[in-house]
Structure 1
Amino acid sequence: MNHPVVSALLPVFLLAAVGFFAGRRRWLVGEGLKQLSTLVFVVLTPPLLFRTMASVHLDKLDFRPLGAYFIGSGLIFAVTLAVLGFNRRGAVLGLANTYTNTVMIGIPLVGLAYGEPGLVLLFTLISVHALIMLTSATVLLELAMLREDAAAGRRSERHFAHTVLLAVRNTIIHPVPLPIIAGLLFSWSGLAMPAVIDMPLKLLSGAFGPLALLLVGATLAATPIGANWRSALSLSLVKNLVHPAVVAVAGWAIGLSGAPLAVMVLAAALPIGANVFLFSQRYGVAEELVTASVAMSTMLGLVTLTVVMAVLTLIG
């Protein structure tokens, strides 16, 4: 039970299992589930992000791991578009193959496995993850829509530049990037955090992990997979296994090793993030498949994350 993989993963999956049980028993459904999601995302996430990044020494931040992550993600996205074609479906499924649940599952898992140094690496990724991935997806989807309108002989009423700028704004003015930026600015200022402020932030930060994992489990209990399970399984295997493998190769290619490589690979191995469903819904494509895939990749994570973490432990 003291094996690093077991000690990191078991608490994560036990808490998610408790949430799943609560969801199945209908103790946490509907409006209550929505309110818990808001509490975790809006109230508990910012203190954790701010407090961790406020203690970072800016001169010690290493951005090379981000290069490995986004090179790997870009390659998979490009291959998905090449296989499925440059259309809305290809872009949405490309996002599903590469967009990670970095917050709800990633933060508790990386915190348990790699401690605060690992969280700093993860938060550095989180600070630009949505901005780069979702803005890129928006650009591709808008271009695909314009192309489809032109092919169908329709006069497009889409405002490309406005849509892209709105996507950029929404990924910056957000409960995740803002506290990271604020924490880095506080660190840069050289000021000391007063204990009377630090203690409430610490207590709120400590509540994030357990409640986030309960939320993941309860959400999973309420999400049907249905007839899309075969396609959802394929997407999930790409996201949970192929994505981290490609990121690992990209990391080795640029000379990464140790915790920086491990955290990026583990981040890539996390299940599909829920934002992909919002994109499928907004652009009216593959909605049921994406919903099923988010649930499937989360369930498969019990096995695939164990495999990925075991491999990371073996290779050091």
Structure 2
Amino acid sequence: MNFSSHPVFISLTPVFLLIGVGFLAGRLQWIRGDAIKDLSNLVFLVLIPALLFRTMSAVRFEQLDLTPVAAYFLAAVGLLVLSIAWRGFNCRSVVMALAGVFSNMVMIGITLVELAYGKRGLVTLLTLVSVHALILLTLGSVMLELAAARETRRAGGEPPHLMATAMSAIKGALIHPIPLPILTGLLFAQTGWSLPSVIDKPLQLLGSAFGPLALVLVGVSLARTPMHGHWGPALWIAASKNLLLPLLVGLSAWGFGITGLPLTVMVVAAALPIGANVFLFAQRYQVVQELTTASMGISTGLALFTLSVVMLIMSWLNPVVITG
């Protein structure tokens, strides 16, 4: 078989070439650190909402299947809890465990899944994306506050109020440029109306700009990621994220009787590298910040190989129609 003509290779190549372009631009200082925040705001506040709302504005509730999402979170939450138990219950271990289960579904996953599995695959992924941050980040917030309260008590201080923290986390996850346009797009779709072309066309153009710019931005961020001195622990976290989680998600989905495209999309979503939101927790709680950054960089770099392997295995075990 000519691997260069395989649909998996055809889908992955543009994704990692664009990340490579961003990495080169970051190394050569064509895009400097001061510009990264503005580019991130453009991607997250303008381009992503346009893409997500337009995609979901044509999806009826009866087209959605939540069983794959349930299978995904059974595996992800299970691995999160086991990872914390293995390392010990403290803020450091919660952040490291979260890094081992939180996928970069938006910046990398959306473009990759649409290239590889078309619109049907993207709808399956966006159903997962709509609750991914809400569930994992809220759970992570609660666990971190519990761990922080435990550490504060041991130090003789006054712990924060847990319920207020949990409600703040839920509110922040809902009023967010990712779940909000997905949910509003779904609600619009239930009206049976169609977007007027004068609105649909600009949304289409903005959504088209998301993929290339988001991937280039991943590369720029990767170029500025320090990894010195953290290779060993970071490799373990990256292995958990890139290899162990997709294996567990695949087994969980198999147990639920899920087959076809939903199974493949869930496993590929689990195999995506570590998402950037994990670093926000490391920064907020002032723990393992350099290790988290290094893990994200190594996980993204390894994904060139691990994602290829996972997608190839899924194409052999669970053949689906892949669109280029």
- Scaled by the length of structure 1, the TM-score of the pair is 0.98
Corresponding letter in the other structure for 2:26: G
- The Cα offsets for residues 265-316 of structure 1, whole Å up to 9 and x where unpaired, read as 1111001111111101111211111010011100111110001001011112
In 2, are the aligned partners of 1:99 and 1:276 still within 8 Å (CA)?
Answer: yes
Deviating more after overlay: 141-150 vs 98-107: 141-150
Q: What is the aligned partner in structure 2 of residue 97 from structure 1?
A: 100
Question: Which stretches of structure 1, 4 residues or longer, exceed 4 Å deviation after superposition?
Answer: none
* Residues 115-264 of structure 1 mapped to structure 2, 5 A cutoff: 115-152=118-155, 154-264=156-266
Match of 1:290 in 2: 292
The one-letter code sitting in structure 2 at the alignment partner of 1:79 is L
Counterpart in the other structure of 2:304: 302
Matched residue, 2:322: none
One-letter amino acid matched to 1:211: L
- Alpha-carbon offset, residue 142 of structure 1: 0.8
Once the two structures are TM-superposed, the CA of residue 139 in structure 1 deviates from its matched residue by: 0.8
2:21 corresponding residue in structure 1: 18
The DSSP-based 3-state class of the residue aligned with 2:177 is coil
> How far is 1:17 from its partner?
0.7
Report the alpha carbon displacement of residue 216 of structure 1 after superposing the two structures with TM: 0.6
Partner amino acid for 2:178? V
Contact 1:29 1:222 in 2 (8 A): no
> In angstroms, what is the RMSD of aligned CA positions?
0.9
**Does the Cα contact within 8 Å between 2:134 and 2:174 map onto a contact in 1?**
yes
Residues 88 and 141, structure 1, Cα contact 8 Å, conserved in 2: yes
Of residues 45, 55, 58, the one that matches 1:55 is 58
Gaps of 5+ in 2: 319-324
Match of 1:169, as an amino acid? K
Post-superposition offset of 1:145: 1.3
User: Which residue identity is paired with 1:84?
Assistant: R
Once residues 162 and 75 of structure 2 are traced to their aligned partners in structure 1, the CA distance between those partners, rounded to angstroms, is: 27
2 CA distance for matches of 1:267 and 1:300?
A: 15
Structure 2 residue aligned with 1:82: 85
The Cα of 1:155 is off from its aligned counterpart by 2.8
- Aligned residue pairs total 315
1:97-117 CA distance string (max 9 Å, x none): 101111000001001011111
Question: Contact 1:239–1:272 (CA<8 Å) still a contact in 2?
Answer: yes
> Which 5+ residue runs of structure 1 have no aligned equivalent?
none
Contact 1:111/1:118, CA 8 A, preserved across alignment: yes
CA contact (8 A) 1:16 1:213 kept: yes
The superposition leaves residues 164-201 of structure 1 with CA deviations (integer Å, 9 ceiling, x where unpaired) of: 11111111111101100110010011111111111111
Distance 1:55 1:296 in 2: 37
State the shift of 1:157 in Å: 4.1
Q: SS at 1:189's partner residue?
A: coil
Q: For residues 205-253 of structure 1, give each alpha carbon's deviation from its aligned partner in whole angstroms, at most 9, with x where no partner exists.
A: 1111011111011110111111001111111011000010000000000
Q: Secondary structure at the match of 1:165?
A: helix
CA distance in 1, matches of 2:237, 2:180: 31
Distance, in Å, in 2 between the alignment partners of 1:247 and 1:151 is: 37
Q: Distance in 2 between matches of 1:82 and 1:174?
A: 30
Q: Tell me the amino acid that sits aligned with residue 212 of structure 2.
A: P
Decide which of 102, 111, 115 is 1:112's aligned counterpart: 115
SS at match of 1:86: coil
State the identity %. 52
Q: Secondary structure at the match of 1:290?
A: helix
